[in-house]
Structure 1
Amino acid sequence: MKTEKVDDASLETWTVEEAAQAFDRNEIVLIDVRTPQEYMFEHIEGALLMPLAFFKGDKLPDQVEKRIVFHCGSGVRSERVARAAIAAGVKKIAHMEGGFAAWKGAKKPYIGTNMATGAPQAVMPE
């Protein structure tokens, strides 16, 4: 993981592997900052949705029990949200490098949409 000091705060950039392992161990909360439409089409199972357009950094819970790691489609929006969280007073925050595209590229499981039925379905890439 890469760490950048931003004034008196820390912005961490996690790899997909780091995020996936910590998520599997229930050590982090993964927050998807994409649009509701993107999330409904495909998302990481168990990730929460907090779209960039509606983000309020001062409403984030503390990170005593679990760390917060943001993700988006490519890593651009999640970094922007992480920096907004720092501007709102959060002292340590993280985002996932490469976003959901990197998650899929690393062949991690996710929930997708069955194009024949429109229903959500688990996708387990090989």
Structure 2
Amino acid sequence: MRTEETGHGTLETWTPDEVARALAADEIAMIDVRSPAEFIQEHIEGALLAPMAYIVPERLPLGGEKPVVLYCGGSKRSEAVGRQILEAGVVDRIAHLEGGFGAWKAARKPYRGTDMTTGAPVLVR
């Protein structure tokens, strides 16, 4: 994990392997900041959806026992949302997934996808 002190708090950047380990151990919560359409098609199982365009930092489920890891398609949006949350002063530490969902899939981590023949959700491994 890389860390950056932003002046408003610490922004952590976690690798797909670090996120997968922590998720499997139920040590983190995930928030997907992509659009609803992106989320419906495929997402990390168990992630909450909070689209970047609608984020109100003070209303996010932050500050609990589990650290929160944000993710998007490529990590630009999740990094921006992480900085927005830190600037709002809601928490003093937030994390995001390095390389986003694209890196997650490239690392062959499991996720919920859509069976294009039926429209049903499927677990992709």
Class of the TM-score when normalised by the shorter of the 2 chains: over 0.9
Report deviation, 1:7. 1.0
Secondary structure at the aligned position of 1:3 is classed as strand
Q: Which runs of 5+ in 2 are unaligned?
A: none
Runs of 4 or more above 4 Å deviation = none
Matched residue, 1:18: 18
Give the letter aligned to residue 112 of structure 1.
G
1:67-93 deviation digits (Å, cap 9, x = unpaired): 010000000000000000001102111
Secondary structure at the aligned position of 2:5 is classed as strand
RMSD: 1.0
Secondary structure at the aligned position of 2:31 is classed as strand
- The 1-side partners of 2:82 and 2:92 are apart by 10
Matched residue, 1:66: 66
- The 1-side partners of 2:26 and 2:99 are apart by 21
Secondary structure at the aligned position of 2:63 is classed as coil
How many residue pairs match? The answer is 124
Matched residue, 2:56: 56
Matched residue, 1:40: 40
- The 1-side partners of 2:8 and 2:105 are apart by 34
Give the letter aligned to residue 66 of structure 1.
K
Query: Is contact 2:10-2:92 (8 Å) kept?
Result: yes
Matched residue, 2:80: 80
- The 1-side partners of 2:7 and 2:35 are apart by 30
- The 2-side partners of 1:112 and 1:119 are apart by 8
Give the letter aligned to residue 97 of structure 1.
E
Within-5 A mapping of 1:94-113:
94-113=95-114
- The 1-side partners of 2:5 and 2:100 are apart by 21
